[in-house]
Amino acid sequence: MPKRYTPTSAAADVEAALRLLEGRWKLVILFHLFGGKVMRFSDLERAIPNITQKMLGQQLPQLGSGWNRRAHVLSSGAAEG
């Protein structure tokens, strides 16, 4: 049975989405991922000035919960396919 939306459940879903997106880098990362092309980890590092490799590595798994980021981000050595 599909989820039934009420004002309360809709507000809860909006709050969950905002919690997922909070932070300095997540919206910037999503902006680049939804640019229409596959980006490797190293491509994201180059596209986002001032982000460290550690920070990018921490943010991607958090964004990946609930959707398949693997379709958009490949590790530096992985082959597309």
Task: Render 18-77 in DSSP notation, one character per residue.
Answer: HHHH-SSSHHHHHHHHTTSS-EEHHHHHHHSTT--HHHHHHHHHHHHTTS-GGGTEE-TT
Give CA separation, 70 vs 4, 16, 32, 44, in Å: 30, 22, 14, 13
The pLDDT value given to residue 65: 63
The pLDDT value given to residue 70: 44
Read off the pLDDT band of 68 (50, 70, 90): very low
The pLDDT value given to residue 64: 76
The pLDDT value given to residue 61: 87
- How far is it, in rounded angstroms, from Cα 43 to Cα 7? 40
Using one digit for the tens of pLDDT, what is the confidence trace for 17-67? 888 778 889 999 989 988 888 889 999 999 999 999 999 999 988 887 644
**What does pTM read for this prediction?**
0.62
